Structures are given as structure tokens and as C-alpha cells.
Structure 1
Amino acid sequence: MGSNGGSNITPLRKTLPLRVLKPDVNNIKNLARKLKKVQRVIFMGKFGKILDLLEVNVQVDALIALAQFYDPPFRCFTFKDFQLAPMLEEFERIMEYPMKGSKPYQYMEHYPSLKTIAETFDIPIMEIEDNRTNKDNLIGFPIKYLEEKAVNLARDGKWDTFMDVLALIIYGIVLFPTIKDFVDFMVIDVFLAYKHRGENSVPRVLADIYCTLDFRHEKEGGLIHCCSPILFF
């Protein structure tokens, strides 16, 4: 995080009742272990260092303490003698998604088509229709379904598609968590924009962190759901 001096700045004192949506990555790590060494190198070439986020031991209490010092007007964490701000360059490095030569993710004002999802993840459209779920007014897939899909792909030796499904699971559960154990279609759109159009996901991750911190301070508490491993990194 970038820092600036500020010895005259008074630290935030009001304690907010905050919680953190910490991703359960045990099953995802088990899926990742199915990749052999060469396949892990290929995965990194496609999707950067997102597998490394599975190894971050997120300390929830530390994140809650940090969030208390978030200063919405300045979009940074304000302490007595200095300020810290999440920066795009740091997120690029952590994810290994360089912004140079790429454009940021842009929402096209509609969800990806079932045809695109079917072709990308080797799922028949009828199966998509049977397994997509409405949860808290969001359309998506239960994580259990995607995990079972990944297991079957590994069993059948369809490693390219397995990598896509594994990366999507990490996007939904780690990078862009919205609801516990659920991957919504907005996250699928971010993933497909990266895979098919080369649109960089880093600005969206950073924006999600700022937006959730702003919102929780506006509401004076609640659940922080953003990429906690990157925030904790």
C-alpha cells in the first residue's frame, strides 16, 4: 500500500461492528493439487498468481482492526502519523496481471450468454439451466456444482477446461465473493471478459475493496465481502 506522511491526522476512534467474509479454500486447494507441475506453470501463464491467494492465511481480526481506520473521504487507511492506500500497482504485482498493454474490465450491461458459458466450460445448455440458481436476487451456480464439474473434468483428462473452471471458482470465491459458496453471473462475466477479451480484472478487484469499505462505513458496520487475501497480503 502507498503511504504518505500526516502527523496532524487524528486516527478514527469509533469502533464499527464489522465482520469479514473469509473464503473457505480447502476444497479449492484440493482441486489445485490435481494440477501437475507443468500444468501449474500453464495455469499461471493463463491466470497469473491467483493460486497463491489460496495460501494466504487471512487473519480476520487483523482485517477488522484495519478496516476501522479506513477514511472514506480520503479513500485510505488513516493512522496517527501516516496513511496507507491500496494501489493498482501492488495489486498488479500480487495477481501478476500487468495493466500495460491491457484494458480494464468493462461491464457490457448484460450477463454472458448461456451459449458462451456452455462453450467455455464444456457444459450443455440444458445442464446450465438445471443448475443455475437464484440466491438473494443473484443468478449463479452453487460452488458445489462447479467443484463437481472440475472433478469430472480432471477425471476425463480435460485439463484446459478444468483450468478454466478452477480459475472461475477462485474468481467467485476468492477474488469477487458476494454470497458464501456461490458464484454469480457477474463474476462469470468478469472471468469471461479476461479470458476472451483480455480485459484486466485488477481494477475491478481494487474497486470492490474500496466500494465495500465505503459502504460499510456509510452503514456503520456489517459484512465486508471483498478479496480479503489481497487486502491482507
Structure 2
Amino acid sequence: MTQNNLQELKEIWDQWDDKIKKLFYCNYGDLPYLLDMKVDKHLFRALAQYWNPAYSCFTFEKVDLVPTVEEYMTLLRFPKIQADKAYLRAVNVPTFLKKLMSITGMSEQWVVAQIKQKGDSKCIHWKNLRDLILAHPDMKKRVDVFALSIYGLVVFPKTLRHIDEAVSDLFVQLDKRVTPVPIILPETFRSLNAYRRAGEGRFIGCAQLLLAWFHSHF
């Protein structure tokens, strides 16, 4: 599994007062509890062995179970999200530079200096966002950057300690009250399928959310 060290995110969250935490919950739902979900790798590997790639579900003897949109919506509890408004990537999306400028409220010069190329995609290192969360004078921007960091480090952990450009495509549309769950679930299924096919493949979905779903049933 690709797992980022979330200790710094947890420390920032714990330092925030009730006012800023309430602002986060109102805008982004119950994402922070994922920071406290300890991923038991032995349990996860055992669970993955029950994944049936042919039917995209877990098969426990004669019982089939699969996470649903409704269940993930309940686990994440998005107060501003419309369950029937799914994310679709726009044809003409702003550049990564423009999206980061909008999310962070920082200058073009600052953003250009932080963007890095990793493989076939652009990204920004977590430490740059961490410093911004700690120092930004605008409380709303601190909350936005913190939420972006959770999406990049926990929900879609493609590159360790980096937030991928693809995450920003989804993130900038959350203000339109779209639900990210129909994107989170397919990535989870795709990662499980790849994991099973490769035998020792890498799971890059949101392990914390999948285990939260598993615990809700058992």
C-alpha cells in the first residue's frame, strides 16, 4: 500500500480551535477522522484476498459485499454535497498553476516555484502546503489547503508526500456541491483489481475509508 505519514496533518488538526474545525466540517464533511484510522496492513491484505475481480465485490463464502455510493456518503457525511451531482472532468479545465493559485490564494510566482514534475504528472510537495496552512492569514484558505492535503495524501495517495494535479481537478469542483464518492469508489475498485492481478501489486486507493467501511459491517 502507498501510505503517507499523516502525523503532521493530525498535529495541525489538533491545534485548531472549534471555530476553524466547524468551518472545515461545514465545507468538507468528516474527512479528518480518516487521519485517526490506523491501517492494519495484515488485516488489509487478508481483506484483499476476498476481493473478486470478476464481479468487483468481496466474496465471503456465499456472501457478496461491496462498498456503495450511499455507504461512502454516510461515512464521509458531506453537509454541502448533493448526492446526485457527480463529478465530471470538464473539457477545458484551468491549468494546475491557475487551480493552485485559486485554492491557495498565493501569487503566480510562488506557485510556479512549488510545482514539480513526477513521472507523467505535475504535483506539489506536502511540506509547501504544510507551511502555507501554518502561516496563511486567511482562515478559509487554511481550511481549503488542509482539505486539499487530505485529498492528496489520504484519499488519492498516488505519489508519496505529494499532491497530484488530478486531485486539484476534483477539488476545485467541490464548491459546485458535486460528490467525490463516484470517483473514490472506482479508484478503490481499480486498485483492488490491480492488486489481485499482480499478486503483490500496490494499492493506491483510500485504505482508511475502505477499512472504515469494513468495520461498519463487522
Which residue in the other structure is 2:144 paired with?
164
TM-score for the superposition, normalised by structure 1: 0.84
Asked whether the 8 Å contact 1:173–1:180 carries over to 2, the reply is yes
The one-letter code matched in structure 2 to 1:131 is: Q
Q: Is 1:194 aligned to residue 174 of structure 2?
A: yes
Structure 2 unaligned blocks of 5 or more: 213-218
Asked whether the 8 Å contact 1:112–1:188 carries over to 2, the reply is no
| Structure with a larger share of its residues in helix | 2
Q: Is 1:81 aligned to residue 62 of structure 2?
A: yes
Q: Matches of 2:60 and 2:144 in 1, distance apart?
A: 41
Q: Matches of 2:25 and 2:159 in 1, distance apart?
A: 26
Asked whether the 8 Å contact 1:102–1:198 carries over to 2, the reply is no
Q: Matches of 1:222 and 1:63 in 2, distance apart?
A: 13
Give matches, 1:7-46, under 5 Å.
Answer: 20-46=1-27
The one-letter code matched in structure 1 to 2:41 is: V
Which residue in the other structure is 2:208 paired with?
229
The one-letter code matched in structure 1 to 2:50 is: F
Structure 1 residues 138 and 206: CA distance shift in structure 2, 3 A: same
Q: Is 1:150 aligned to residue 130 of structure 2?
A: no
Q: Matches of 2:28 and 2:205 in 1, distance apart?
A: 19
Asked whether the 8 Å contact 1:112–1:185 carries over to 2, the reply is no
Q: Matches of 1:229 and 1:192 in 2, distance apart?
A: 23
Q: Is 1:125 aligned to residue 108 of structure 2?
A: yes
Q: Matches of 2:117 and 2:143 in 1, distance apart?
A: 26
In the TM superposition, residue 22 of structure 1 has moved relative to its aligned partner by 2.3
Using the aligned pairs only, state the percent identity.
Answer: 23
Asked whether the 8 Å contact 2:194–2:203 carries over to 1, the reply is no
Q: Matches of 1:161 and 1:41 in 2, distance apart?
A: 14
Greater gyration radius: 1
TM-score for the superposition, normalised by structure 2: 0.90
Asked whether the 8 Å contact 1:216–1:222 carries over to 2, the reply is yes
In the TM superposition, residue 159 of structure 1 has moved relative to its aligned partner by 0.8
In the TM superposition, residue 111 of structure 1 has moved relative to its aligned partner by 5.0
Structure 1 unaligned blocks of 5 or more: 1-19
Q: Matches of 1:64 and 1:110 in 2, distance apart?
A: 40
Asked whether the 8 Å contact 1:53–1:230 carries over to 2, the reply is yes
Q: Matches of 2:93 and 2:118 in 1, distance apart?
A: 16
The one-letter code matched in structure 2 to 1:178 is: K
Secondary structure, counterpart of 1:30 in structure 2: helix
Q: How many residues are paired up?
A: 210
In the TM superposition, residue 136 of structure 1 has moved relative to its aligned partner by 1.9
Give the superposed CA RMSD.
1.7
- Per-residue CA distance 1:177-222 (angstroms, 9 max, x = gap): 1011110110011111113x22211111111101111122233331
Secondary structure, counterpart of 2:90 in structure 1: coil
The one-letter code matched in structure 1 to 2:192 is: L
Q: Is 1:59 aligned to residue 40 of structure 2?
A: yes
Asked whether the 8 Å contact 2:82–2:179 carries over to 1, the reply is no
Which residue in the other structure is 1:104 paired with?
86
Asked whether the 8 Å contact 2:23–2:143 carries over to 1, the reply is no
